[in-house]
């Protein structure tokens, strides 16, 4: 009996000592990395420590494999940002401004992120590429969580069920909240929608405004769905020469038709037209439908822009 007690005490001592000497063997809080070239979203480990900063639009550093944060949504969700490359020429890509209504633009953003992670050598030395895949996370959450976007692509929701996700939690169309011909009551197709109580009234719009005004990207591409084309930007000042070049470059490589402007209906407070007002070259890329990312087309388009800015 005495020997049995001694053996039990030895086993307990070994187990406790192993826990403190080799804690990783007992820790199951590792990141879950499910990225692949089909657009599987990287799941972020919520236990990872983040270095917080204060101002909306300022990048908050994180150790989550290149992910950073530029602000919060109305409901407090992160607006994630991913950056690759170390050059001074910054190309900014934005998806998900229309949240769950254009969920495939967010999935495309994550596909681009995965591609850049797997093939970093395609980024020229002088270029930094920044991707904001979900500018309207509250709108996206009305239709899907980020971690389920890949599954959603295999079983797309009915378009009518995604309309509610176009708007943020204040029921504002974020792409009507920017400072170019802004109107409080705006149009979407033949419907009246809210452009916000004033220009940049929405916290999401403020976050991207602050980021752009601080970082001054060289060129911006914003993704929407759905019309199938590449559109130049302008705000009562004509189309910038560089914007015309961007439009032609992306359209030629991707196979989308190109247009000087979007004329299907009047748009006020549009983000790319606000960028034009600030003399920043910007284009809109509209996917052909609401269910597909058209990866081959847009991969070619992004590569053509990287090649254009390579020195």
pLDDT confidence of 58, banded at 50, 70, 90? low
Alpha-carbon gap, residue 232 to 209, rounded angstroms: 20
Tell me what pLDDT residue 311 has: 86
Phi/psi for 175 (5° steps) reads -80, 15
Predicted pLDDT at 67: 77
Q: Which pLDDT band holds residue 51 (cuts at 50, 70, 90)?
A: very low
The tens digit of pLDDT for each residue in 237-283 reads 899 999 999 999 999 999 999 999 999 999 999 999 999 999 999 99
- The Cα 269–Cα 240 span in angstroms is 18
CB count within 10 Å of CB 164 equals 14
**Taking a C-beta distance cutoff of 8 angstroms, is the pair 281, 240 a contact?**
yes
Query: Does residue 78 register a pLDDT over 60?
Result: yes
The tens digit of pLDDT for each residue in 83-98 reads: 999 999 999 999 999 9
For the domain covering 33-309, report its CATH number.
3.40.630.10
CA distance 150 to 108: 10
- Count the Cβ atoms, other than its own, within 10 Å of residue 214: 12
Surface-to-core class of residue 21, CB atoms within 10 Å of its CB (0-12 exposed, 13-18 middle, 19+ buried): exposed
Q: How far apart are CA 43 and CA 28, in angstroms?
A: 15
Are the C-beta atoms of 309 and 89 separated by less than 8 Å? yes
Question: Token pair for residue 113?
Answer: 């992120």
Is the pLDDT score of 59 beyond 60? no
Percentage of the chain beyond pLDDT 70 is 79
CA nearest to 167, candidates 179, 153, 177 = 177
């Amino acid at each position: 009996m005495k020997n049995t007690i001694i053996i039990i005490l030895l086993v307990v001592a070994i187990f406790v000592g192993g826990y403190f000497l080799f804690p990783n063997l007992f820790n199951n809080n590792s990141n879950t990395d499910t990225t692949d070239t089909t657009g599987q979203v990287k799941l972020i480990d919520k236990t990872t420590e983040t270095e917080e900063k204060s101002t909306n639009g300022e990048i908050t550093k994180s150790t989550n494999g290149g992910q950073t944060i530029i602000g919060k949504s109305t409901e407090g969700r992160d607006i994630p940002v991913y950056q690759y490359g170390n050059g001074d020429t910054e190309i900014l890509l934005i998806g998900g401004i229309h949240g769950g209504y254009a969920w495939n633009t967010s999935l495309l953003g994550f596909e681009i992120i995965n591609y850049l992670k797997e093939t970093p050598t395609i980024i020229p030395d002088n270029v930094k590429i920044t991707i904001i895949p979900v500018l309207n996370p509250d709108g996206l959450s009305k239709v899907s969580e980020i971690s389920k976007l890949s599954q959603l692509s295999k079983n797309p929701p009915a378009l009518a069920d995604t309309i509610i996700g176009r708007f943020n939690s204040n029921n504002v169309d974020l792409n009507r909240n920017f400072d170019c011909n802004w109107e409080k009551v705006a149009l979407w197709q033949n419907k009246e929608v809210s452009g916000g109580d004033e220009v940049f009234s929405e916290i999401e719009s403020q976050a991207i405004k602050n980021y752009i005004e601080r970082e001054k990207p060289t060129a911006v591409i914003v993704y929407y769905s759905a019309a199938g084309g590449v559109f130049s930007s302008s705000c009562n000042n004509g189309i910038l020469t560089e914007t015309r070049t961007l439009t032609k470059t992306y359209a030629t490589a991707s196979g989308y038709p190109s247009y000087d402007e979007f004329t299907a209906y009047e748009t006020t407070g549009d983000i790319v037209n606000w960028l034009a007002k600030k003399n920043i070259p910007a284009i809109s890329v509209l996917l052909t439908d609401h269910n597909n990312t058209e990866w081959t087309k847009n991969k070619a388009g992004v590569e053509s822009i990287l090649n254009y800015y390579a020195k």
